[in-house]
A and B are shown apart, each in its own frame.
Chain A
Amino acid sequence: MSASQSAVRSRAEAVSASRTLDYMILFTLFFIILGGYHIHFMLTGGDWDFWSDWKDRRLWVTVCPIVAITFPAAVQAVLWTRYRIAWGATVSILGLLFGEWINRYFNFWGWTYFPMNFVFPANFIPSAIFLDCVLVLSNSFTMTAIAGGMGWGLLFYPANWPIIAPLHLPVEYNGMMFTVADLSGYHYVRTGTPEYIRMVEKGTLRTFGKDVAPVSAFFSAFVSVIVYFVWHFFGLWFGKTDFVTST
């Protein structure tokens, strides 16, 4: 067979080869995203996602969506522009969560024996599906940044509330009040993570009484819009093929 001949001899073979390629690319893409996104999120979201006693109604709600919208925006930009593929955000989050669950289960629990109810990762799937759906329906990155980014930030806390609510039950312990999550943080000793490192409930947002989570979520959503814009440009730049044509 010469180099100019086709590798396939029928349409069926072409379809089969295309599907094989789909699976290979999908597998590779999934793990490449997993690797990059996981490192990025560990470095930026870090402790807020590691420990249940960091998952508060102010900073966790604010920080995590902002630092997590990065890769979904970039991956969406590449997959939508080049392939009209509608699951850029979802595949990013599935990759991140796959890595996080492996890390938490085998490392935090299997290796260092922190209970899983203390070290579970946050849930970003509803936010990711929302972001993907807005892109499909609007076919516009501007609209996706504004509407999708807002939804991304706003959905984060309610989507996680069923997971964290049992850990916010009040407990009286030796004359002081804790949440179950606080007590986990006190009981399960983190030698290298003293209590004062914990960045929770800090700030000046005191005007809204107990209803600070929605305000934090709105702020997070606004910033997510901006971060989406920036990172979708990163994605567009990263997905360029100029270097191929120049050779």
Chain B
Amino acid sequence: MKTIKDKVAKLSFVALLIAVSTAMFYTPTASAHGEKSQAAFMRMRTIHWYDLDWSKSQVAVNETVTISGKFHVFKGWPETVAKPEVSFLNIGIPGPVFIRAASYIGGQLVPRSVTLELGETYDFKVLLKARRPGDWHVHTMMNVEDGGPIIGPGKFIRITGSMSQFTNPVTTLTGKTIDIETWGLGDIYFYSFLWIGIGIAWMWYWCKSPVFVPRLIAVQAGKADSMISDTDKKVTMGFIAGTVALTAILMGSTNDAYPVTIPIQAGLMRDMVPLDIPEPTVSVNVDNASYRVPGRSMEMTLTITNNGDSGIRLGEFNTASVRFLDADVAEDEGSYPADLLAENGLSQSDNSPIAPGETRTISVSASDAAWEVYRLADLIYDPDSRFAGLLFFYDEAGNTQMVGIDAPLIPSFI
């Protein structure tokens, strides 16, 4: 009986080891940035990204891809998220697989944090230079201080070639052209390991003679004060003087080698220039809105008034980067990520043009699996159950007008 028990114990142990080892070697590729896990209300009511364009889907190392578009800073910014007074236009990529060659908001280079105004719309552009080969999910992203990262739509871009071919040249104001990728590496290694060598030499001097046991015995025997010899003290004085002298000499020679240096640059950039968008001639009132859980569908009743001089039609509802289109009115003309695009996701009780001066109440349904896939349905579990988004209206000439909506959302479970 005991033998059987032992065998079972041994086999169990082996099985456990195999299970642990297998689990350790199972490392699936992470191909997203947790954007679906971010609270739905935060994605719906903070930054709305639209008119996005990724200039290429495949680039070679050293080539540049441009991500451009607009973002609207929502007026109904949630109380639970810090206002975008200190924000940084970032890019969501898995490490520096691209370098950020440049990023602009309203035509202004934004290497530092910026202040954004609620209710304004800005155009932006990020230039990424390919560095490391692979298929990388590239997101637009806005970091907000005390608010967290607000991630936008992402798209895969393939980089081909070899990282060893990557260069990052720049000319300094002292007239020297350097490759940032490797600049200063020689000095870093040389001085770091020179001093590590001196540190090892200091230890080696003391470790030549017995270290622990005899010294412990001597200290316990009350001989501690006689254990440091005159020679030891002379060597110590040599080390301390040498250390100070070498530090001073190296600092002096460095100042000679680099007479012009400047401090690290920092600071907040204010006065970002928003887009000059005319006041919309369309006004929209959300009479009610509900989310039907079984149907993955949001139903809205909208009262729309057209104060313009051309008939308009509702073509798109954009929320949390998911675009619900009415295929009769609008279609995606760019290269928007397919998983975020519901080409037939928007249906209306009446999608005929709303004439100038007309007020019409319509039922609108935004339905797609994206509600579930992108976890927007989780909105019903948020502490502030409001939804928000952008409505895009198209006039007879094909011009668009953007109107933001922000209203309570009532879930329907049956």
Contacts and interface: CB of A to CB of B under 8 A. Distances in A.
Interface of A: 15, 18-19, 21-22, 25-26, 53-57, 81-87, 90-91, 93-94, 97, 101, 112-117, 120-121, 123, 125-126, 128-130, 132-134, 136-137, 139, 151, 155, 158-159, 161-163, 165-184, 186-192, 194-196, 198, 200-202, 210
B172 A170 contact: yes
B187 to A, nearest CB: 6
Contacts of B176: 169
A194 B111 CA distance: 10
Nearest to A173: B170
A125 B196 contact: yes
B215 A129 contact: no
A19 B92 contact: no
Given A177-B173, A194-B143, A165 B261 contact: yes
B263 A57 contact: yes
A83 B98 contact: no
B241 to A, nearest CB: 9
B66 to A, nearest CB: 14
Contact of B264 (A56, A91, A123): A56
Interface in B112-137: 112-113, 131-132
A138 to B, nearest CB: 10
Interface string B134-172: 000000010101000100000000000001000010111
Interface string B228-258: 1000110011011001101110110111011
B28 interface: no
Contacts of A180: 170, 172, 178, 180, 183-184
Given A84-B228, A115-B182, A136-B233, 6 more contacts: A85-B215, A117-B183, A117-B184, A158-B247, A166-B187, A170-B173
B146 to A, nearest CB: 9
Contact of A128 (B173, B199, B211): B199
Given A123-B192, A137-B233, A198-B266, A174 B102 contact: yes
Contacts of A82: 216, 219
B414 interface: no
Contacts of A161: 250-251, 254-255
Contact of B228 (A90, A136, A168, A174): A136
Given A113-B96, A191-B92, A186 B188 contact: no
Contacts of B203: 87, 90-91, 94
A162 B93 CA distance: 33
